[in-house]
Amino acid sequence: MMKKQMRKGKDYEFDFDDPEAIENFRKTLARMFSIMRKARGINIEQFQIGNIPTEKHTLKSEIPSSIILLHLHGGGYFSGTAKDYRAFASSLCKKLQVQVYSISYRLVPEHPYPAALDDAYYAYKWLLEEQSIPAENIIILGDSVGGGLTLALLHRLSKLGLPQPKCAICLSPWTDLTFTNNSYETNRENDDFFNYTNLVNAAKKYKGKESADNPEISPIFADFKDFPPIFLQVDSTEMLLDDSLVIAEKMKKQGVSVTVDVLDGMFHDFAAFFRMPVMRFAPEFKQAITNIREFVDSCERS
């Protein structure tokens, strides 16, 4: 049902130079995500990390976990907020038994690279320095462009010699904004979620005047040797399939512990739709969340 609805909008080409079109899309996304209810038993606190709107999710009935999850949402770099992703973040809090900080990083076209990455970096440093949270107690999770942003953040941390988090989770990450991976061609018709032209135009807006092969824009070109354990989850029909498979092979060659979870017959960033009515009862969604939880559990034991 969801794939059928997504397919209806696949041929629509978005005008990134039209402010009204962008605002309408953001409102449409907000309405869609508002259908999903947050998980029960979760407190949500809204505040600012510097100038970054943030939502903190904690379990009501439990002693707060010492593990902190920093969530970087999806939305093509031009849409999405912590509020939009509230249902997903609250589910992560409950299912993973962690505290979740979900940030609303700056978006394009108003704020091209490096604004989003700067905000993610600022939030991570705030957890380390202002909240005195050890890096080994932090997990970073990003979905879609947030997954690419997560890997770009790890690259920046490595480059600056800062401590890496315990582990990182990337759900359908966008890692190659040069569009050289084969699945952009082989899965172009199979992908129920993305219009290829929209992806190309979003990449142009995000990178601005920078080269798309900058590792902070396309982390597939990063140096991975200092990276923590990585979990990559993707569907086999996505144009972004190879953005996970190719980067996973590169990481493994540099000694990174990588878990690749490929599901079949779903769609882009499917785990983020876990709280969609009816869908949360589907076994595929439950399995996706279970696989994420098992990875987190393995990181905590290590």
The verdict on pTM exceeding 0.85 is yes
- Pure H helices in 161-282: 183-186, 196-207, 241-253
How many other β-carbons are positioned within 10 Å of the β-carbon of residue 263? 18
Supply the pLDDT for residue 35: 83
Instruction: Point out the catalytic residue in the list 71, 73, 155, 268.
Output: 268
The H or E element spanning position 217 is none
Task: Say which residues have a Cβ less than 8 Å from residue 194's Cβ, sequence separation at least 6.
Answer: 10, 238, 239, 240, 268
pLDDT of residue 277: 65
Return the closest-CA partner of residue 28 out of 77, 80, 91.
80
What are the DSSP E strand ranges found in 95-151?
99-103, 138-143
pLDDT value of position 86: 95
Q: Catalytic annotation on 172?
A: no
Q: What is the Cα 29 distance to its own chain's centre?
A: 16
What is the full per-residue pLDDT of the chain (302 aa) written as tens digits?
666 665 555 667 778 899 999 999 899 889 888 888 888 999 999 999 999 999 999 999 877 789 999 999 999 999 999 999 999 999 999 999 999 999 999 999 999 999 999 999 999 999 999 999 999 999 999 999 999 999 999 999 999 999 999 999 999 999 999 999 999 999 998 887 788 998 999 999 999 999 999 999 999 999 998 999 999 999 999 999 999 999 999 999 999 999 999 998 787 777 887 776 666 667 777 888 899 999 999 987 77
- Phi-psi domain of 220 (left: phi exceeds 0; alpha: psi -120 through 50; beta: other): alpha
Give the list of residues 6+ apart from residue 235 with CB closer than 8 angstroms, or none. Answer: 172, 241, 262, 263, 264, 265, 266, 267, 268, 270
Please give the pLDDT value at position 189: 86
Q: How far apart, in Å, do the first and last CA atoms of the chain sit?
A: 40
Is position 102 annotated as part of the catalytic site?
no
How confident is the model at residue 32, as a pLDDT?
A: 84
**pLDDT of 281:** 65
d(CA 68, CA 131): 11
Considering the four listed CATH numbers 3.30.450.20, 3.40.50.1820, 3.40.30.10, 3.20.20.140, the one that applies to the domain covering 2-301 is: 3.40.50.1820
Instruction: Give the list of residues 6+ apart from residue 283 with CB closer than 8 angstroms, or none.
Output: none
The order of strands in the sheet holding 42-49 is 42-49, 52-59, 99-103, 68-72, 138-143, 167-171, 230-235, 258-263
The one catalytic residue among 144, 172, 218, 244:
144
Q: Check if 111 is active-site.
A: no
